[in-house]
Structure 1
Amino acid sequence: MSEGRLEGADDVVLPFAVEGLDVRGRAVRLGPSLDQLLARHAYPDAVARVVGEACALTVLLGSSLKFEGRFQLQTKSDGPIDMLVVDFDAPDRIRAYARFDPERLAEASANPRTGELLGQGILAMTIDQGADFSRYQGVVSLEGQGFEEAAHQYFRQSEQIPTRVRLAVAEEFHEGGRSYRAGGILVQFLPSSPERARQADLHPGDLPEGREAHSLDEDDAWVEAKAFVDTVEDHELVDPGVSSERLLYRLFHERGVRVFESQAVREECHCSRERIIRMMRNFSADDRRHMVGDDGRIGVTCEFCSRVYDLDPAEVEAEVAGEQAG
């Protein structure tokens, strides 16, 4: 089954392949890294669960990058959670931030679905390889669906790769309080013959009456792989006693699953004083003067990690001038 070292640990993403079905994929487990990320903001449980799902999906997608770039997942919508941003800096750093309306959140149902909390809007997935390369962005509509279906929609319309995603988030209660865990699995059909991976056209939405939408029989290997993934239960993705290796063996052992070297994942923000100063260059001198508080200082709080930067206005002006001169 294995190639490389088995981990069975938290905060890792594990690539795998099932050659008998022509599929490849990744499984992710997030534990302390996710809990630390959520603890920085003390999100209500419903928001924490949505952020956890988004983080698991972002790691599944971002960990496929073969270069040191950034994969970003961002939502803008009209639901109680009107904005969510998750950054994955390859190969292993993640950070996230969610903005929500407490009053509207309180009006939501007792156990709201992710789609209910996001509402209507857009989900954007962006790959940024740095200043020397063009950014790539794919956008899908949010129409009350959750992240799983949004990911399926993204791959149908943007990548044309048959893909199946499962995500789950859970709480652990212990003497010290509670903590969060998240997990996910992504499986993609990548046969050597592109014809085998063809999918039906997207529904046009305005077919004349009596006309049927284009349909296409799926490859038997992909039908089988999807059926296996659809048997995954939430607890199998987050249970500390069910490692990713064990789950993959249950799903695909008859077809011969092979796992590769796992990659650790850590929660870490990349904000810094230097980045804040560079950001200040985007504001006019007058705008910067209006940032000075009653105490004569400029306070800047990073929305991702909640770190507060206490800056001397005179030092800021001197450093901004130096940056502009350089």
Structure 2
Amino acid sequence: MAGTGDPAPAAGRPGDDAVLPFAVEALDSRGRLVHLGPALDTILSRHAYPEPVARLIGEAAALTALLGTALKFDGRFIFQTQSDGPVHMLVVDFEAPDRLRACARFDEAAVHAAIAEGRATSADLLGAGHLAMTVDQGPDMSRYQGVVPLDGRSLEDAAHQYFAQSEQIPTRVRLAVAEVVSRDAGHAPRHAWRAGGLLVQFLPESSARLPVRDLDPGDAPEGSLPLPVDEDDAWTEAASLVGTVEDHELTDPAVSAEDLLYRLFHERGVRVYDRQPIIERCRCSRDKVADMLRSFSADDRKDMVDEGRINVTCEFCSTAYDFDPAEFEVGEEE
């Protein structure tokens, strides 16, 4: 929900801000397709992100929605990059069953230099570093985290490596982001962000049909090439069909998730399940920020005071919180 002073949210389309699970039983494949509309536009409209940074956040948000909605319990799925590129850090936080928020830290001068030099792809902006995907099941359960390197690869490529090494399930991912113009009658044209994502996995009943690859370096001598592994014919067909998806098919408001899945798999038959809605919702609150400030020492809080107040702005939703330093002095020793 937009807060006070936020831009008016973009008009949604049926099927927006939702993940549609599906199965192609003839190809032993299952997957999910996401369309993000007003939720993503609200996230991006709160910040003056340069266009390539906004696109990168959109890709990450679509991927996180695809993965987060697979959680079968109340918990969080956290997508986070740390790298040496113009975008130093990217965080997308999904809280089951449906809450999504995202933000990025970046070097504005470096981003604009990359744009001027024509090297502002997602891989260029991220540079070298790592991508961590964390499943947090709550304070009483251990966390699971998968980490893959970022070394000049796109988020799609990083996702493929994540599944290859963490779950060893044949997986194909497609991500796309677009800024579209809506021209509703009686209203001025409005630019709005959209993102789409498609994830398909090969899940045959017999585990013997799953191709098993050696992960470099494995136990082979350094420099050895991985042994070739024959793909299952069903998976080869499914992956090839996913590879035909164009960016505009994932972001066009006129192409519903059902329409796109029919285009891809109508010859084999595709079954869809209930949509899983996605909402933009930050987890910050005045009480949580106050608790965070209380965790600092009195000297640290003193350094935060500006013109007699402590001001904190949430990096995710840009909500500003204003505190009187005196309210943290109660009960503290002088």
* TM-score, structure 2 as length reference: 0.89
Shift of 1:299: 0.7
Q: Residue 138 of structure 1 corresponds to which residue in structure 2?
A: 146
In structure 2, what residue type is equivalent to 1:150? Answer: A
CA contact (8 A) 2:309 2:323 kept: yes
In structure 1, what is the equivalent of residue 3 of structure 2? Answer: none
Aligned pairs, how many?
A: 313
Equivalent in the alignment of 1:3: none
Aligned: 1:249 with 2:262: yes
CA contact 2:111–2:120 (8 Å) conserved in 1: no
Q: Look up the SS of the partner of 1:261 in the other structure.
A: coil
Distance 1:254 1:84 in 2: 39
1:206 CA drift (Å): 9.6
Name the structure 2 match of 1:104: 110
Distance 1:230 1:188 in 2: 13
Q: Percent identity?
A: 63
- Structure 1 gaps of 5+ residues are 1-6
The 3-state SS of whatever aligns with 1:57 is: helix
Alignment-derived partner of residue 235 in structure 1: 248
Query: 2:211, 2:230 within 8 Å by CA — same for their partners in 1?
Result: no
Q: Which amino acid aligns with 2:85?
A: G
For 1:258, which of 271, 291, 307 is the aligned residue?
A: 271
Q: Distance in 1 between matches of 2:96 and 2:119?
A: 34
Find out whether 1:38 has 2:44 as its counterpart: yes
Q: Identify the residue that residue 155 of structure 2 maps to in structure 1.
A: 147
Query: 8 Å contact 1:199–1:218 — kept in the other structure?
Result: no
Asked if 1 retains the 8 angstrom alpha-carbon contact of 2:160 and 2:173, the reply is yes
- Spell out the pairing of 1:73-112 with structure 2 (5 A cutoff): 73-108=79-114, 109-110=117-118, 112=120
CA contact (8 A) 2:312 2:322 kept: yes
Deviations 1:53-100 (A, max 9, x none): 000000001110011111010001011111100001111111111111
Q: Judge conservation of contact 2:294–2:328 (CA < 8 Å) in 1.
A: no
Shift of 1:212: 4.3
Match of residue 165 from structure 1: 173
* Counterpart residue identity of residue 272, structure 2: V
Q: What amino acid sits opposite 1:313 in the alignment? A: P
Q: 1:216 aligns with which of 229, 233, 243?
A: 229
How much has 1:208 moved relative to structure 2?
A: 5.0
Q: CA deviation at 1:8?
A: 4.8
Across the aligned residues of Structure 1 and Structure 2, the Cα RMSD in angstroms comes to 1.9
Q: Which runs of 5 or more residues in structure 2 are unaligned? A: 1-12, 183-187
- Give yes or no for the alignment of 1:116 onto 2:124: yes
CA change 1:184–1:313 in 2 (3 A) is: same
Report the counterpart of residue 294 of structure 2 in structure 1. Answer: 281
- Counterpart secondary structure, 2:329: helix
Aligned-pair distance for 1:241? 0.8
Q: What secondary structure is seen at the aligned counterpart in 2 of 1:107?
A: helix
